[in-house]
Amino acid sequence: MHSPKNEAELAEIIAGAETPLCVEGGGTRGCEVEGDRLALRGLSGIELYEPGSLTLVARAGTPMAEIETLLASEGQRLAFEPMDTRGVLGSSGAPTIGGAIAVNSSGPRRIQGGAARDYLLGVRFVDGAGQVIKNGGRVMKNVTGYDLVKLMAGSYGTLGVLSEVSLKVLPIPEAMATVSVAVPDLLSAVRAMSTALGSPYDVTGAAYDPGSGLAHIRLEGFAPSVRYRQEKLAGELAGSGEVENRSGSEHLWQDIRDVAAFQGREGDVWRISVKPSDAVKLAPMLEAEALQFDWGGGLIWALTSEGADLRARLMSAGLSGHATLVRAQSATIAALGRFQQQAQALELISDGLRSRFDPRGVLNRGLMRAGQMAGMGRA
């Protein structure tokens, strides 16, 4: 296992790699491809934090807990609400900021505030040739040239290994409240969530739990404003079902973010992105053992029997969308791949980018290939 302590060591390891590398952050996902482990825990530490400028710069291996504690001490937070995957994956380790950016982790607040990449100001990373590359900056106005910052977010370490990230952070809202509506079915839930999201009340979360039959709408901001908006929204949603106003509700949204309902249960876990209106048609076709809906119905979490191919069911429904296999046995992952195959034109672009940034194919080789990726010789 390789464990670089700084960026120079990281570049030296990658430049001298004669076999593929499996890039690992805090160890929460483990190694998903064949290759020598490249653990980034040693690249840890806060480089810069300016609360007044809402700016944080940290090494990629810095634990999320350390960052969240520091931000909370100044009444601030990471706005993109990154998911803690350990419960769903049944894993250990410590989530890191580099890992969150590499997978573009984005929680319930994405419908209002955007994804992780939208708060990324700059990056430093090492490409597959061992070159150190810097893009972006430490302030919002200091971004010029090609936007490699956005490209690195969600690339899963296949284009380069992050060594440092610069982020915009935001203040913690003074108050949080939730309007929960008892609905008879998914169609009613999507309608209620769509009504809330189309309202002027600045909704920051809209999720539905079929198990409880409740659609949850989150509001955040200054306390008087939250109280006013909660009362108004509750009135508008009264026709959808019985309404309950909740104050606080931090744990509720943490459970939604981390898909707590699936934790400790056997089976495969899928994450499906579709249009909220398509979720109603697709959901029964998934034949899932459990479902959870976020982003107003546009994000579906599905717990299925082992080996179920939800991409085939998505295609048979004639719907556009994207299904990611989050947790499964290695044989299922090898057969189906974690990620859905892209259109041919996009696949050509992706291949070209991987060839440019990782010409030797040493970084997480095959990870973002669809189906039969284990042991593949292509990058």
Greater confidence, 378 or 158? Answer: 158
Can you give the length of the chain in residues? 379
**Residues 130 and 168 sit within 8 Å (Cβ to Cβ):** no
Residue 155 clears pLDDT 50, i.e. is over it: yes
Q: Can you give the pTM of this predicted structure?
A: 0.91
Who contacts 240 (Cβ-Cβ below 8 Å, separation ≥6)? 181, 183, 188, 191, 192, 195, 215
Please state, in angstroms and rounded to a whole number, the distance separating the CA atoms of residues 253 and 216. 9
CATH class of 175-257: alpha beta
pLDDT of 147 reads 79
Question: Would you place residue 366 in the very low, low, confident or very high pLDDT band (cuts 50, 70, 90)?
Answer: confident
Please state, in angstroms and rounded to a whole number, the distance separating the CA atoms of residues 104 and 150. 9
Could you give the maximum distance between any two Cα atoms of the chain, in Å?
65
Residue 63: count of CB within 10 angstroms of its CB: 19
Question: Would you place residue 30 in the very low, low, confident or very high pLDDT band (cuts 50, 70, 90)?
Answer: confident
- Tell me the pLDDT tens digit for each residue of 46-82: 999 999 999 999 999 999 999 999 999 999 999 999 9
**Residues 292 and 261 sit within 8 Å (Cβ to Cβ):** yes
Tokens of 198: 């189309």
265-334 classified as CATH 3.30.700: no
Domain boundaries along the sequence of the chain: 7-171, 175-257, 265-334
Strands 322-327 and 268-273: antiparallel
- Tell me the pLDDT tens digit for each residue of 250-303: 999 999 999 999 999 999 999 999 999 999 999 999 999 999 999 999 999 999
Burial per residue of 189-220, b for 16 or more beta-carbon CB atoms within 10 angstroms, e otherwise: bbbbbebbbeeebebbbbbbbbeebbbbbbbb
Residue 345 clears pLDDT 70, i.e. is over it: yes
Beta bridge partners of 63: 96
pLDDT of 85 reads 94
Percent of the chain exceeding pLDDT 90 equals: 80
pLDDT of 378 reads 27
What's the mean per-residue pLDDT of the chain? 92
Residue 161 clears pLDDT 60, i.e. is over it: yes
CATH of 7-171, one of 3.10.129.10, 3.50.50.60, 3.30.465.10, 1.10.287.610: 3.30.465.10
Please state, in angstroms and rounded to a whole number, the distance separating the CA atoms of residues 201 and 193. 12
- Tell me the pLDDT tens digit for each residue of 113-153: 999 999 999 999 999 999 999 988 765 554 455 578 999 99
Domains 7-171 and 175-257 share a fold: no
pLDDT of 377 reads 29
pLDDT of 374 reads 36
pLDDT of 168 reads 96
